[in-house]
Amino acid sequence: MEPDLIAGPDLIAGPDLIELDGVEKVFDVRKKTGFLRREKHEVRAVDGISFTVPRGEMVGYIGPNGAGKSTTIKMLTGILTPSGGRLRVAGIDPSRERTRLARRIGVVFGQRTTLWWDLPLIDSYRLMHRMYRIPDARYKENLDRCVELLELAELLDVPVRQLSLGQRMRGDIAAALLHDPEVLYLDEPTIGLDVISKAKVRGFLRDLNAESGTTILLTTHDLTDIEQLCKRVMVIDHGRLMYDGALAGLHEAGESERTLVVDLERELPPLEVESARVVKVEGPRQWLAFPAAESAAPLVARVAERYPMVDLSVREPDIEAVIAKMYADKSTS
Ligand SMILES: Nc1ncnc2c1ncn2[C@@H]1O[C@H](COP(=O)(O)OP(=O)(O)OP(=O)(O)O)[C@@H](O)[C@H]1O
């Protein structure tokens, strides 16, 4: 796909905290091609990406599996060195000055914990206090705030391995914030969480960004995360930036649909409602697809007016579907 889907976001003005200019990461891998034969070939995990993130912005960084998201984040933390291009975070070249950068960034990986598995939560925080040489007063202030807002008081003496996934995630987010980072990278922070835990994590991140002005780069497969948190979203696929702009624009580019799932009092023929179409019927439950860029409220009102409805929910399109649609539309245009 040509990069013409990239609409400059320009949503919040301010000095850029993250800067990427033509960044590349190429891995040399050896593939087995015969009994004893292995051929060397290149994987271009990140293939010339350029973008900037101003201080204080919260940006979604999304894409299908293997798109290059984690590789980008690893370069932004200094774990990986780019093969080409220029990259700066808070003016620092991450791979050259990883330790200096570590004091200014926080990282949360949904699939892994940075906490000590066998230690009570509070012991991990004490270790971080010393590792990052956080001044005592600041450590206490940040810890108290995180404990209160992330509801950790009851959990501080519990070994990490005994925490539920949602509790562990809140514990990890607090750990990433004890040293007051200016930038927070979150890699799938809501993966595997139940609805209530997701809401807690999202609420906390929204407040953190609004009140402390922490710049946040968020990768996720859950479009609701983006919808509730980010004004701007970047889509990466095959190591390239495919889209950079507002979420509504992404839905338009992919012409994606959301689904209203309606539970009726009884089985009925497919409902007839303006600007939605029934895509599935199962007993008294019906699925109505409607354009993702539109609000669900008028549709819900129309259904409720005409039909005996007992419950409803709205399902977001998944990211893979939106991106697949972007490709399909592009190749047929
Ligand atoms: N260390 C490595 N050596 C070789 N190839 C790698 C390495 N790390 C990543 N890759 C390859 O680079 C590409 C991008 O991987 P990356 O993990 O960045 O994708 P991702 O967008 O984070 O995917 P996911 O959503 O599945 O986590 C993939 O093809 C992957 O197999």
Element (H, E) at 280: strand 277-282
Q: Is any atom of ligand 1 closer than 6 Å to the C-beta of 67? A: yes
User: 43 CA distance to ligand 1 centroid (A)?
Assistant: 9
Q: What is the mean pLDDT of residues 126-138?
A: 93
Q: Is any atom of ligand 1 closer than 6 Å to the C-beta of 70? A: yes
Q: Is any atom of ligand 1 closer than 6 Å to the C-beta of 76? A: no
pLDDT at 7: 40
Q: What is the DSSP letter of 196?
A: H
Q: Rg of the chain's alpha carbons, rounded to an integer? A: 22
Q: What is the mean pLDDT of residues 289-314?
A: 91
Identity of the highest mean pLDDT range in 271-275, 316-320, 326-330 = 271-275
At 119 the three-state DSSP class reads: coil
User: Is pLDDT larger for residue 143 or for residue 10?
Assistant: 143
User: 67 CA distance to ligand 1 centroid (A)?
Assistant: 7
Mutation to probe ligand 1, out of 43, 112, 242 (largest number of atoms < 8 A from CB): 43
User: 217 CA distance to ligand 1 centroid (A)?
Assistant: 18
User: 106 CA distance to ligand 1 centroid (A)?
Assistant: 21
Q: Does residue 158 register a pLDDT over 90?
A: yes
User: Is pLDDT larger for residue 220 or for residue 84?
Assistant: 84
Q: Is any atom of ligand 1 closer than 6 Å to the C-beta of 114? A: no
The pairing of strands 257-264 and 309-315 is antiparallel
First to last CA, the chain: 11
331 falls in which pLDDT band (50, 70, 90)? low
ipTM: 0.96
User: 146 CA distance to ligand 1 centroid (A)?
Assistant: 32
Name the amino acid, one letter, at 100: R
Name the token pair of 90: 């808070």
Match 């990278």 to its residue by tokens.
185
Is 3.40.50.300 the CATH number for 3-252? yes
Residues 6 or more apart whose Cβ sits within 8 Å of residue 3? 240, 241, 242
308 falls in which pLDDT band (50, 70, 90)? very high
| Mean pLDDT of the residues in the chain | 87
Minimum mean pLDDT among 85-89, 96-100, 198-202, 239-243: which range?
198-202
The answer to whether 309 and 298 are in contact (CB under 8 A) is no
Q: How far is Cα 198 from Cα 81, in angstroms, rounded to an integer?
A: 33
Q: How many CB atoms lie within 10 A of CB 302?
A: 16
At 136 the three-state DSSP class reads: helix
**Protein residue with least CA distance to atom 13, ligand 1:** 45
At 26 the three-state DSSP class reads: strand
Burial (CB count <10 Å: 0-12, 13-18, 19+), residue 70:
middle
Q: How many CB atoms lie within 10 A of CB 157?
A: 10
Per-domain residue ranges of the chain: 3-252, 257-316
Q: How far is Cα 242 from Cα 236, in angstroms, rounded to an integer?
A: 6
Q: How far is Cα 197 from Cα 166, in angstroms, rounded to an integer?
A: 6
Q: Does residue 248 register a pLDDT over 80?
A: no
**What are 178-205's pLDDT values in tens digits?**
999 999 999 988 888 888 888 888 998 9
